[in-house]
Amino acid sequence: MFNLLLLLSASYWYCLPLIKQRLVGYSEFRLYDVLLAVLILILATRYRRPLKAFFEQDGPGKWLLKFCIWASITYVVTVIWSLSSRNVTWIMVSAIYLFHLWGFVLAYAAFRIFVRNQRQCLRLLDLFLLLGAIQALIICLQSIGVVPRLWSELYDVYGTKTYSGTLGPNRVMPGLSMMLLLAVAGAYWRNMRAVGSGRLLLALGSAGIGLLALGVTGSRTAWVVFAAFCLLSFLIARRQQAGMLALGVVVAALLVVAGPDSIKQRFVEMYRWKLSDKLSQTDDSSLTGQIRAVDAGRLDIWKKGAGGLLSHPWLIPFGAGFNNRYALNQGDSPHNMYLTLVTELGLLGLYLYLRWLHAIWVESRARLALGARAARVSKRVFLPVDMKALLAAMAFGLVSGELLYIYRPTFSLLGIFLFLCAVLNHPAMMSPALDRLQRAARSRSLAGWADTRVADFPGVAHALPQSR
């Protein structure tokens, strides 16, 4: 099972279509679609009881499951509306999106259940950094014309300056993927003793090329989310700041000294095109005018989305149905996760989604509390210091788009984020110290631990490494 999960985590970086069909509308199926189908089949036929136990114990998992169930219930409304509107194609499209939602959530559960120790967690993260660095290199080479664009003419609508490797033609997908790559690299440097010197070099190289790629993607949303993450990581994650500062200094020095001038020039051009030139051309010097100059019409889109929702107030409690934004005759999405959730799943759907995000925050706090005690007996404990900052930055970014959802432009981004939540917050990251902690608790040799049980931390007890 671990090898399947290793392959699945790698497939999240490859979003080019494997299969295309035009029998009913147009749909593309990717490598992770095939692997998710295999994983769901295995879980449904062999691991139903462990899966049920997991969702009963795991904090974020409980709310994810409830969110998926509610989305599935409202999908019935989407089917009825599509039939009445003679839009049968949308039934299939929405079914594929629902499959992705369930698939990513069940994959999250599998990463938690079947990854048993810190070594496996770090292998998954090593592969994440390696593939992310390769993807970043492809993006940088595309920006200077060495590697051609890999997407078909179907995606020409996103423009000729979309450098995205195999991640997706929309700039936000490669941009945020690079941001998540940098977050994992930072986590390695915050946990120097746990990962070792070899992994620190891997993280350093990934961070350097990832930062360049983040710049040339031209995603303003990703730039803002990354800036928010950096700020919050210093405000919220107060532990082990030396590692993060060291990474920042070394990467900055490397980029200045060894960064290719052609790629740095491409980043400067992208910055001018997406920000500085637009600001200099506007005649409105007010804050609203400055925002309108660079927001790609977001304010107007939000107003349209909110207006459409307020003109159909009966949809606000329970929504128009999963992926049924066309019920409001708006066509495009509101480009705001919270507005989209109320539109499709109502206030109930928004509540379940926010409870999931809150559960990640609570779990991260619990992991840090447990990790602080575990670090007293082992220096190899991996602490998810930046998870709360990453969560807060992503929640902020949801204002400008459906980043953690199942819409086509973001492809596997939800899967990547859930993968990182599963692995970075995995209790097995503290496995080198857990046995010693429990022995210390029994002998009361560690002050304060004897009164604290591992089971007090949501999601820890069921996921502790077990002998086979």
pLDDT tens profile 383-400: 888 899 999 999 999 988
Distance of CA 162 to the CA centre of its chain: 20
259 pLDDT above the threshold of 90? no
460 pLDDT above the threshold of 50? no
Q: Please report the pLDDT score of residue 461 as a whole number.
A: 42
Question: What percent of the chain clears pLDDT 70, i.e. is strictly above it?
Answer: 77
Q: Is 111 exposed, middle or buried (0-12, 13-18, 19+ CB in 10 A)?
A: buried
Least confident of 84-93, 149-158, 441-450: 441-450
172-197: average pLDDT: 89
Closest CA to 368 of 453, 418, 425, 446: 425
CA distance linking residue 437 with residue 376, whole number of Å: 9
Cross-strand pairs, 28: 20
Query: 190, 371 in Cβ contact below 8 A?
Result: no
Helix (H, G, I), strand (E, B) or coil at 282: coil
R_g of the chain, CA atoms, integer Å: 22
246-250: average pLDDT: 72
315-337: average pLDDT: 81
CA distance linking residue 100 with residue 406, whole number of Å: 7
Query: 289, 301 in Cβ contact below 8 A?
Result: no
Q: Is 0.85 surpassed by the pTM of this model?
A: yes
pLDDT tens profile 125-183: 999 999 999 999 999 898 888 888 887 776 666 666 778 888 877 788 889 999 999 99
Query: 135, 177 in Cβ contact below 8 A?
Result: yes
Closest CA to 383 of 198, 204, 197, 238: 238
> Which tokens go with 207?
């961070």
Closest CA to 204 of 237, 239, 250, 241: 250
- Calculate the alpha carbon distances from 462 to 112, 134, 149, 177 in Å: 9, 35, 45, 30
CA angle 384, 386, 389 (to 5 degrees): 140
Instruction: Tell me which DSSP letter residue 21 carries.
Output: E
- Domain extents in the chain: 2-463
Query: 102, 410 in Cβ contact below 8 A?
Result: no
Q: Please report the pLDDT score of residue 164 as a whole number.
A: 82
Q: Please report the pLDDT score of residue 408 as a whole number.
A: 63
Q: Which residue has the higher pLDDT, 113 or 164?
A: 113
The rounded mean pLDDT for the chain is 81
278-299: average pLDDT: 67
Q: Is 240 left (phi over 0), alpha (psi -120 to 50) or beta?
A: left
Count of other CB atoms within 10 angstroms of residue 174 = 31
Q: Please report the pLDDT score of residue 114 as a whole number.
A: 94
